[in-house]
Amino acid sequence: MSTDEYDLIVIGAGPVGENVADRAVQGGLSVIVIESELVGGECSYWACMPSKALLRSGQALRAAQHVQGVIGGELDPTEVLARRNSFTSDWSDDGQVKWLQSAGIDLARGQGRISGEREVTVTDDDGTERVLRARHAVAVSTGSDAAIAPIPGLAEAAPWTSREATSAQEVPASLAIIGGGVVAVEMATAYASLGAKVTVISRGGLLAKMEPFAGELVEKGLRADGVDVRTNTGTARVDRDDDGVTITLDDGTEIRAAEVLAATGRQPRSDDIGLETIGLEPGEYIRTDDTLRVQGHDWLYAVGDVNGRVLLTHQGKYQARAAGDVIAARANGDEIDDATWGRHVASADAAAVPQVVFSDPEVASVGLTAAAAQDAGHTTRVVDAELGSTAGASLHADGYTGTARMVVDTDRDVILGVTFVGADVSEMLQAATFAVVGEVPISRLWHAVPAYPTMNEIWLRLLEAYGRQSA
């Protein structure tokens, strides 16, 4: 058993842990990260990257086939899976480990468990223990796991989770997906494009946390792609036999599939990291203040999914930049910039979380939905416009359909939230994020001319629908 001291110990070397470590090193601290699986984390090997790699080829082909003048073209599932494999480096983290080295970050492989104040014990595969002490801080960035809903027989049926869905080396003949969130609709889109017969079974609608028209348009899109979508449908039980899986719905209907994907939510990976040694509850989200620090433990930070603020990689990385900087600032005795929108707080977690669902059509949203804005007590006006009404969209794809919504705070004349649903809207989101985060007044946005003919002319439609007042 060896003992080592670092300024900062980071548990979890996903994108979030890597960014906390990197910022802290740039702030002059010595840092070690602890990883029990692959450096690079869930996002690199079993989530964002492989899922988008499974989706992109189909998306690109669809886009081409929706334009008159393009003939032929098809998808080769084997090649799509091969491309996905290359994006995960065949599940090798050699490249990421090299990056850690180049960034001056130490790595300990094994399970990291808090074993006291500013102390983490790492247990490697052989059971060897190493005690690490932190001069300044410990940051937990262990992420989240798929949560299997308590549907009778589901756990026993060895369901796919997002991990298996994103890392499968063969396309099953048929795939039943239980759930209606992002994982469900993205994997339905991907596997339908790869030739599987896909069924989606959702207790409610699709994408329930977003604007209602998002789920509606995606449901329509999935149906057009040949997916059997069952919304407002409960699952009574799941049974696996030698030939596959039977999903029995609440109304007694039975659905057969080669595989079943449980896309029924996430849970924090906090059950086996020693939280009990410092009086916190294992298995629960680790709550923090806006500097990502845990109340009552001024040396402890929780960053990314594990704090339950926002379960999105880019938002976790955003938190990581604030956390790495504030940990370094506090260690160095520098001034702390923790006012709203300051350098050391994750203010956007509340006001401006961007999200893209890479389904067909895509959904891109930032900030508050109309319902959320009203619940939060804002005086709002909601403006909708059809993306297909722009010249840019009609050029982009024949028969383009899609919708944009802008939620305006009429007291302050600024935008609280924007949602786009339509083909290839993902890169349009950043403008909305700038408007929301920058709190740019509507009267000024009239001067931000969309290039003609691009789909971004939708901004003009939204502004025209809102009406123009003098500044």
- Among residue numbers 159 through 178, which ones bind a second copy (CB under 8 A)? none
How far apart are the C-alpha atoms of 274 and 296, rounded to whole Å? Answer: 16
Select 18 or 119, whichever has its Cβ closest to a second copy.
18
Is 210 in contact with 363 (CB distance < 8 Å)? yes
How far apart are the C-alpha atoms of 380 and 377, rounded to whole Å? Answer: 9
At 418, the amino acid letter reads V
Which of the residues 179 through 218 are near a second copy (CB under 8 A)? none
Which of the residues 121 through 140 are near a second copy (CB under 8 A)? none
What angle separates helix 77-87 from helix 48-65, to the nearest 10 degrees? 140
State the burial class of residue 451 (Cβ atoms within 10 Å of its Cβ: 0-12, 13-18, 19+). Answer: exposed
Count of C-beta atoms within a 10 Å radius of residue 336: 15
Quote the least distance from Cβ 403 to a second copy, whole Å. Answer: 16
Q: Which two tokens stand for residue 81?
A: 């899976």
Find the binder of a second copy among 108, 456, 461, 466 (CB under 8 A). Answer: 456
Select 79 or 276, whichever has its Cβ closest to a second copy.
79
Q: Say whether residue 447 binds a second copy (CB under 8 A).
A: yes
Which of the residues 387 through 446 are near a second copy (CB under 8 A)? 391, 394-396, 398, 424-431, 433-438, 440, 443-446
Select 92 or 232, whichever has its Cβ closest to a second copy.
92
Which of the residues 215 through 244 are near a second copy (CB under 8 A)? none
Q: Residue 89 carries which DSSP code?
A: G
Which of the residues 318 through 347 are near a second copy (CB under 8 A)? 318, 321, 325, 335, 337, 339, 341-344, 347
Q: How many residues bind a second copy (CB under 8 A)?
A: 92
Q: Which two tokens stand for residue 271?
A: 């059950």
Select 139 or 431, whichever has its Cβ closest to a second copy.
431
What angle separates helix 182-193 from helix 212-224, to the nearest 10 degrees? 20
Select 133 or 343, whichever has its Cβ closest to a second copy.
343
Quote the least distance from Cβ 415 to a second copy, whole Å. Answer: 10
Q: Identify each DSSP E strand in 400-466 by its residue range.
A: 403-409, 414-422
Nearest in space to 461 (alpha carbons), one of 310, 450, 315: 450
Find the binder of a second copy among 115, 231, 277, 454 (CB under 8 A). Answer: 454
Quote the least distance from Cβ 461 to a second copy, whole Å. Answer: 13
Q: How far is CA 74 from CA 57, 61, 80, 195, 361, in A?
A: 10, 7, 11, 11, 19
Select 7 or 424, whichever has its Cβ closest to a second copy.
424
Give CA angle at 155 (306, 153), nearest 5°: 145
Select 160 or 420, whichever has its Cβ closest to a second copy.
420
Binding mask 281-320 for a second copy (x = CB under 8 A): -------------------------------xxxx-xx--
Select 227 or 445, whichever has its Cβ closest to a second copy.
445
Backbone phi, psi, residue 143, to 5°: 80, -150
Residue 109 forms beta bridges with which residues? 35
Q: Say whether residue 85 binds a second copy (CB under 8 A).
A: no
Select 282 or 341, whichever has its Cβ closest to a second copy.
341
Give Cα 308 distance to the centre of its chain: 12
Select 34 or 463, whichever has its Cβ closest to a second copy.
463
Count of C-beta atoms within a 10 Å radius of residue 230: 19
Q: Say whether residue 74 binds a second copy (CB under 8 A).
A: yes
Q: Say whether residue 272 binds a second copy (CB under 8 A).
A: no
Select 111 or 365, whichever has its Cβ closest to a second copy.
365
How far apart are the C-alpha atoms of 9 and 116, rounded to whole Å? Answer: 13
Quote the least distance from Cβ 129 to a second copy, whole Å. Answer: 35
Q: Say whether residue 245 binds a second copy (CB under 8 A).
A: no
Q: Which two tokens stand for residue 429?
A: 């989101």
Is 198 in contact with 261 (CB distance < 8 Å)? no
Quote the least distance from Cβ 445 to a second copy, whole Å. Answer: 7
Which of the residues 343 through 382 are near a second copy (CB under 8 A)? 343-344, 347-348, 352-356, 364
How far apart are the C-alpha atoms of 233 and 192, rounded to whole Å? Answer: 20
Quote the least distance from Cβ 395 to a second copy, whole Å. Answer: 5
Give CA angle at 152 (151, 155), nearest 5°: 75
At 300, the amino acid letter reads L
Quote the least distance from Cβ 194 to a second copy, whole Å. Answer: 9
Which of the residues 17 through 56 are near a second copy (CB under 8 A)? 43, 48-49, 52-53, 56
* DSSP-derived 3-state class of residue 130: strand
Q: Tokens 């059950």 — which residue?
A: 271
Quote the least distance from Cβ 29 to a second copy, whole Å. Answer: 16
Select 143 or 274, whichever has its Cβ closest to a second copy.
143
Quote the least distance from Cβ 436 to a second copy, whole Å. Answer: 8
